[in-house]
Amino acid sequence: MFKRIIITIFALSVASFSAHAVQVRPMYSEYAPSKKAGVLTVANTDKTEKTFQVIVERQLFEGGVRKSVKTTDLRFAPSIFKVPAGKVQTVRWALNAAATSADEQMYVITVKEVPDPAVIQLPGVHHLIDVKTAWIWRPEGLAPQLSARWDGGVLVVKNTGNASARLVDLVAGTVNKTGQIGYVFPGEEARFDVDGKAKVAVSVKVNGKDVILDAK
């Protein structure tokens, strides 16, 4: 019996994503509340036509738990579209005025490949693209306030501020991790397994700025 295997390839929050036949721009973005509209581009660098869907989820941290909630705060047009081989699709987006808040708003935008029903039934391995990125609307004056401690090789970061913290390019002693490490929401204590050493200070970019965390 022939079997078909579906493999979803993920990418999350880099400046742009370019691999496995798709380029998505912009990826991670921070906006002022006055930014209400813009465009997303999806380039198909494959040799065959592909269909994509844009999905939006609001990111929340409530009761000590992260939550992803589908929302219509941020709308994309078109939200489902075909991109011929070698072509680029421009997708317009608009933020609902009712979504404006004095608090930070974070959304994860997913550009997901929709499989061709005829192709997906064929035996073999099928690679599907699933690109996720965070877009943040942050009012002026909001900022994270971080403290850190070591729990063995795990870095525990607590955010007592009023804005999320995006951690990138972490250095702790001999440990050097490039790229995105993760997020810490306001009020959250997040754990990152970075294989560090106890009582070593941490150098990391927080929302694009160089920060030293005096981890104990």
Tokens of 42: 């999806």
Residue 67 has pLDDT above 50, yes or no: yes
Residue 161 has pLDDT above 90, yes or no: yes
Percent of the chain beyond pLDDT 90?
A: 69
Comparing 80-94, 186-200, 202-216, which segment has the lowest mean pLDDT? 186-200
The dihedral through the CA atoms of 64, 67, 73, 74 has a sign that is positive
Domains and CATH numbers, the chain: 7-137 (2.60.40.10), 146-213 (2.60.40.10)
pLDDT band at 17 (very low <50, low <70, confident <90, very high): very low
Output phi, psi for 28, to 5 deg: -60, 130
* Cis status, amide bond into 84, omega within 30 of 0: no
110-153 pLDDT tens trace: 999 998 776 666 676 667 788 999 999 999 999 999 999 999 88
Helices (H), 98-198: 117-120
